Amino acid sequence: MSSNRLVFALFWVSTATAGSAQPAIAGEPDAVRQKELVRLVRQDCGSCHGMTLGGGLGPALLPATLHDKPAESLVATIYYGRPGTPMPPWKQFMSEAEAGWIVQKLMSGFPQ
Amino acid sequence: MRLFLTFLLALTLAACAGPQLRGTGDLGLIIERASGHVTLVDTTTRQPYARIGGLGDLSHASAVYSRDGRYAFVFGRDGALTKIDMLEAKVVGRVIQSGNAIGGSISQDGRIVVAQNYTPGGIKAFDAATLELLSEVPAEYAPGRFSKVVGLADTSGNRFAYALFEGGEIRVTDFSDPKRPATQRFPAGSQPYDGLVTPDGRYFLAGLFGEDGVAMLDLWQPEKGARKILEKYGRGEEKLPVFKMPHLRGWSVAQGKAYLPAIGRHEVLVVDVATWKEVGRIPVRGQPVFVMARPDGRQVWVNFAFPDNGRMDVIDTLAGKVVHAFEPGKGILHMEFTPRGENVWLSARDDNKVLIYDTTSFARVGEIAADNPSGIFFTTRAARIGF
Give B58-78 pLDDT, tens digit per residue: 988 999 999 999 999 999 988
- Search chain A and give the residue with CA nearest B103: A56
Contacts B118 to A, Cβ<8 Å: 55-57
**A68 falls within a domain:** yes
- Under 8 Å CB-to-CB from B240, ≥6 apart: which residues? B264, B265, B266, B287
- Search chain A and give the residue with CA nearest B147: A57
Rounded-to-integer distance, Cα A90 and Cα A94, Å: 7
Residue type, B202: R
- The stretch B356-366 carries a mean pLDDT of 98
**A25 falls within a domain:** no
Range A105-111 contact pairs with CB under 8 angstroms and sequence separation of 24 or more? A105/A38, A106/A41, A106/A53, A106/A61, A106/A62, A106/A63, A106/A66, A106/A74, A107/A17, A107/A63, A107/A66, A107/A67, A107/A71, A107/A74, A108/A20, A108/A63, A109/A63, A110/A38, A110/A41, A110/A42, A110/A53, A110/A61, A111/A34, A111/A38
Task: Report the residue from B119, B244, B350 with minimal CB separation from A47.
Answer: B244
Contacts A51 to B, Cβ<8 Å: 33-34, 57, 59-60, 77
Residue type, B3: L
**A104 falls within a domain:** yes
Interchain CB contacts (distance < 8 Å): A and B: 60
- Search chain A and give the residue with CA nearest B194: A57
For residue A47, the model assigns a pLDDT of 87
Q: Which of B58, B62, B100 to mutate to test the interface with A (most CBs of A within 10 A)?
A: B100
Task: Report the residue from B150, B165, B243 with minimal CB separation from A88.
Answer: B243
Domain span at residue A10 reads: 2-20+30-108
Instruction: Provide the phi-psi class of A95: left if phi over 0, else alpha when psi is between -120 and 50, else beta.
Output: beta
- The stretch A54-67 carries a mean pLDDT of 93
Asked if A52 lies within 8 A of B57 by C-beta distance, the reply is yes
CB contact B100 to A (< 8 Å): yes
**A63 falls within a domain:** yes
Q: What is the DSSP string of B148-206?
A: -EEEEEEEGGGEEEEEETTTTEEEEEE-SSTTS-EEEEEE--S-EEEEEE-TTS-EEEE
Q: 3-state DSSP call for residue B297?
A: coil
Asked if B307 lies within 8 A of A93 by C-beta distance, the reply is yes
CATH of residue A57's domain is: 1.10.760.10
Question: In this model, does residue A68 exceed pLDDT 50?
Answer: yes
The more confident residue out of B135 and B237 is: B135
Question: In this model, does residue A8 exceed pLDDT 70?
Answer: no
- Under 8 Å CB-to-CB from B44, ≥6 apart: which residues? B26
Asked if B118 lies within 8 A of A47 by C-beta distance, the reply is no
Rounded-to-integer distance, Cα B132 and Cα B178, Å: 12
Q: Chain B: give the shortest CA distance to residue A71, in Å.
A: 22
Asked if A55 lies within 8 A of B118 by C-beta distance, the reply is yes
- The stretch B84-103 carries a mean pLDDT of 94
Complex ipTM: 0.83
Question: For strand B288-293 and strand B277-283, is the pairing parallel, antiparallel, or unpaired?
Answer: unpaired
Taking the model in full, what pTM does it have?
Answer: 0.89
Task: Report the residue from B150, B241, B307 with minimal CB separation from A89.
Answer: B241
B321 pLDDT band, cuts 50/70/90, is very high
Asked if B209 lies within 8 A of A48 by C-beta distance, the reply is no
**A34 falls within a domain:** yes
Asked if B57 lies within 8 A of A51 by C-beta distance, the reply is yes
Residue B122 host element (H or E)? strand B122-127
pLDDT digits (tens, 9 = 90+) for B140-199: 999 999 999 999 999 999 999 999 999 999 999 999 999 999 999 999 999 999 999 998
* CB atoms inside a 10 Å sphere around CB B5: 9
Question: In this model, does residue A21 exceed pLDDT 50?
Answer: no
B365 pLDDT band, cuts 50/70/90, is very high
Contacts A57 to B, Cβ<8 Å: 102, 118, 148, 150, 165, 193, 245
For residue B232, the model assigns a pLDDT of 74
Contacts B242 to A, Cβ<8 Å: 86, 88
CB contact B239 to A (< 8 Å): no
**A55 falls within a domain:** yes
Rounded-to-integer distance, Cα B110 and Cα B165, Å: 27
**A9 falls within a domain:** yes
CB contact A35 to B (< 8 Å): no
Q: How many domains does chain A have?
A: 1
Asked if B60 lies within 8 A of A50 by C-beta distance, the reply is yes
Residues 129-158 of chain B with CB under 8 A from chain A are: 148, 150
The more confident residue out of A36 and B19 is: A36
Asked if B60 lies within 8 A of A47 by C-beta distance, the reply is yes
**A94 falls within a domain:** yes
CB contact B326 to A (< 8 Å): no
